[in-house]
Structure 1
């Protein structure tokens, strides 16, 4: 749908700011609401998800290195890479409304693109075993693009290990943050990853634009925030020099507020940082507190917007958004400890729905862990099983409508009607609170939000099941105006309210009727 929104703005008056992002395919992928699933245990393997690849692994048979040290490793791994996710899986995922996948990889999976990533690491002897992984990773990007699915590449296993878990590549203890070589080498790995992704995507005609970001580290466990944040600044600087536009995702060690402050502070000081995203993982089944809390109480703690988790997400999303970034839930599940379950009907379904509603309200995206397990039936951890059992919705997001013709006057009239209704409520609310306001900024923000919100919806590629919506709302709003002064919050409020109004308008329209009535040709 070529530049329909520029025409709306032209016909709507000069007071509508011109968005600095541009509704181009690359931004549509990167800034849209990411509704995703992790393709866990495709490359970085976890035995609890699939034990078949571990059949010849060396004891303790828990990690990728254990498999490499065992018998028939090359044959076992290549067979697994070629069969774990197939064409039918991509189709099934897209048909559920999922528009992005997070793919956990280890640094050793990149060796087929650059053997130097293995230098002075535990995996140095195993180039032949892992060299074939890179071709499968790039093929995954290519196939995902054919389904309009974005790809977040997550460095799940770094040189020296960033945490003690076996999903960081080896069974041993973490030694990334105690070794300067490992720290610098991990940045080399990320530079290689970004360089090769950039090269691969540019080699296509037209170039692939569906890589939505690179995650610098999964669940890092540093000795202090200062150590990790210093490393993050170095990594971001190096990667920005290679591709200044690629979004970068950061694990926040479950210290979300502290890392929101870090991100906000450095975005202000380094205004040319790329879109930078905090990745928060939310599980409610591991700690003693989780176990003694009932499923009903877990659900209530997510639906009560005055509770700690909703309050934290709301605060962090606002702060990071105003700095030009965002927050996603990179891992979550429907799993509850047996101690939390009472046997009441639908308690797992209600828990899942509570999470979805919360993440949709405050976050730029979410990624369920994980897509599937080898042994079926686990509706807490297997997305596929959860959907098929009816405890997870069969479809998420907005279904794309086949819009062949557009009535510009109708959209403009709907915008102004929605803006007026929102503005009246807004002014009445703030009239009760003494202060100095610039309510015209709300109007400017609302019109910009409506126009760009519709730009996303109407630019959804033909054949896509789900329509694009702006997910990084704060970051996108910030790019729509150069005035970030005292009254900016009023612009932002109008912008975000408009996105909600756009969704309601898009879903309520009878687009087939519009086509039948023969409104003016699409622009």
Structure 2
């Protein structure tokens, strides 16, 4: 079709009537050139009025002769079928006709016009391209077989040909558009299906599955995906297989370690290298698999609910299971990990607690459900190139008596009647965990393995904690854990850890100003200065094996410069900033204001603004300096993890909220301030110290 259009662009002018007559008298013209010559209607020369009747009579006779010729040829054509391609072949030249005077042909009779219209209709129905009849074909009486009853001089011929081509072009266009739409739909459907299969399937992955594949005794248990609140990115194929006594149900058999978090770090399948030269930049997923009231205060609104223990007891097994799984399924999604990588972070610390592995008599906790979400979270981290710091946040008996250990008040780990028993249980937990995470699939994605979060060594016997920590380290190494094994500093001073632990272990330090009475009252400028000078000095001390332990990470810190966040110090306990902190113990309660003004002007109203973007500009400037000062200092060690990624209403504890408000660097590895620069005087900028 395109070739035909190109030929039309170079079409010669229409021949004169004399030239046309000469050609009919014997001038050899190819069918192709004849076709070209007929692209425009013939120019009929004017006639004299006294010649018109005679010419019409002669034309009628000629037309009758032509009709007889057509009839004879049609009868011959009925006995044989001529191949279409012959119409395009060159024909031998006809003998010259006797010379005759060129005469204009009259318009065809009405009947011919009617047949011509019918021919157009047939073309429209069959949608076949027909050639315009050549002069030779017309003279041989084959015009009808070639495309209709029109004569060679018909004024309709070119228009008819163009209309047929136009209709066909339009039809082809609609066909192509229709096919394109169908192809796009198919591609989208296939992409969705492939994506779901690659990621483990979506909520519809139970479609087409037969619940009879689940043994009757396993129905409505951890192993029954029909009882799960979501199956997104879970393998729902039933299996009772375990590793280390822990189920693999929900995991897919294949994984891909080719992703990397950003172009500043290697992909998972390649070694990280030296953390001393390339420190970790990460964030915690606090409040997800281990609850913490200030992170999700909506779960602690009922009277008497102060921790996960009391929440589960008050709700009861069924309601607690439903409530917590809904929280696990919605509080963190794959988009969480995607956003972390987009923020220039390269590590994620995932706190979880012992009831993901085991529960004991009297425990009200929801058993094992969090295990499934932990495994999926690791796979999401892998998908986005993030390395994982596993953090056992709550141990049997509670290692510190704080709400984020599961139970407030009681320290029953290595202490009290069941202290030794809970110590052994904790070692058994690590035996099972380490056997599971020693699998080849976790070798590249799990970079750090934490033994216990924040053991309260100002209360516990130091020797007991050190002995237990050494035993746990030996257990996980014996079971094949290659990751860095992490232990907590216990709040007893960094210099005291010199030589106490194997040098291959990594010390974990959590730095906050707001929980110390002699630091929470620092001015804004002094807080940034302390984050630079004080914490840099501590990092240097701890990293020096001649003065401290050696390898050190800073796995918790935040931008909070007050303890005003609701439930931060405990449900219903108040805060130090305003002097309302009542722990029930006179030795720890703070009942006078501790903001820098130390008077009634101390208020949490501004600090508790839920939308950090609405905070005063000078305060926002301080918050960004405070964050970047800490990043600078903690990178003198082996890296840092911000606490935490997400909260319901405490933006100074939320990396996600800080990014959105512009009080954290857009990329963690590209910052505006470091401790080599002068610290601004925020008060000079109009920031009150009571803010």
Verify same fold: TM over 0.5: yes
2:306 is aligned with 1:62: yes
2:524 is aligned with 1:278: no
- In structure 2, C-alpha distance between the alignment counterparts of 1:142 and 1:214, rounded to whole Å: 16
The alignment's TM-score, normalised by the length of structure 2, stands at 0.47
Aligned to 2:280: 34
- In structure 2, C-alpha distance between the alignment counterparts of 1:294 and 1:392, rounded to whole Å: 20
2:611 is aligned with 1:364: no
- In structure 2, C-alpha distance between the alignment counterparts of 1:90 and 1:373, rounded to whole Å: 15
Give how far 1:347 is off. 1.7
Task: Pick one of 476, 480, 486 that aligns with 1:243.
Answer: 480
Q: Secondary structure at the match of 1:284?
A: coil
- In structure 2, C-alpha distance between the alignment counterparts of 1:187 and 1:30, rounded to whole Å: 30
Task: Pick one of 283, 287, 296 that aligns with 1:50.
Answer: 296
Aligned to 2:674: none
Aligned to 1:225: 462
Gaps of 5+ in 2: 1-265, 563-576, 578-594, 603-615, 672-691
Task: Pick one of 507, 515, 524 that aligns with 1:295.
Answer: 524
- In structure 1, C-alpha distance between the alignment counterparts of 2:546 and 2:446, rounded to whole Å: 22
Give how far 1:51 is off. 2.5
Between 1 and 2, higher relative CO (CA 8 Å, sep ≥ 6) is seen in: 1
Give how far 1:321 is off. 11
Q: Deviations over 1:257-282 (max 9, x none)?
A: 3454035x643xxxxxxx41111000
- In structure 1, C-alpha distance between the alignment counterparts of 2:524 and 2:421, rounded to whole Å: 45
Q: Deviations over 1:205-258 (max 9, x none)?
A: xx6511112211111013232221111111111211112523111101223434
- In structure 1, C-alpha distance between the alignment counterparts of 2:339 and 2:383, rounded to whole Å: 13
Task: Pick one of 419, 422, 429 that aligns with 1:189.
Answer: 429
Count of residues in correspondence between the two structures: 346
Aligned to 1:82: 329
- In structure 1, C-alpha distance between the alignment counterparts of 2:478 and 2:628, rounded to whole Å: 41
2:359 is aligned with 1:118: yes
The alignment's TM-score, normalised by the length of structure 1, stands at 0.61
Give how far 1:119 is off. 3.3
Q: Secondary structure at the match of 2:652?
A: coil
> Which piece of structure 1 moves more, 172-181 or 158-167?
172-181
Q: Secondary structure at the match of 2:336?
A: helix
Label 1:47 to 1:368 Cα distance change in 2 as closer, same or farther (>3 A).
same
Give how far 1:340 is off. 5.0
The structure with the largest alpha-carbon Rg is 2
Task: Pick one of 548, 555, 568 that aligns with 1:330.
Answer: 555
2:637 is aligned with 1:393: no
Structure richer in helix, relative to its length: 1
Label 1:149 to 1:340 Cα distance change in 2 as closer, same or farther (>3 A).
farther
- In structure 2, C-alpha distance between the alignment counterparts of 1:320 and 1:242, rounded to whole Å: 31
- In structure 1, C-alpha distance between the alignment counterparts of 2:443 and 2:505, rounded to whole Å: 21
Gaps of 5+ in 1: 1-21, 111-116, 268-274, 400-523
2:373 is aligned with 1:132: no
Give how far 1:67 is off. 2.3
Q: Deviations over 1:313-358 (max 9, x none)?
A: 11211328998x5111110000002625997452222111111111
2:398 is aligned with 1:156: no
2:446 is aligned with 1:211: yes
Q: Secondary structure at the match of 1:293?
A: coil
Please say if residues 105 and 154 of structure 1, whose CA atoms lie closer than 8 Å, have aligned partners that are also in contact. Answer: yes
- In structure 2, C-alpha distance between the alignment counterparts of 1:321 and 1:193, rounded to whole Å: 33
2:543 is aligned with 1:317: yes
Label 1:147 to 1:288 Cα distance change in 2 as closer, same or farther (>3 A).
same
- In structure 1, C-alpha distance between the alignment counterparts of 2:670 and 2:425, rounded to whole Å: 42
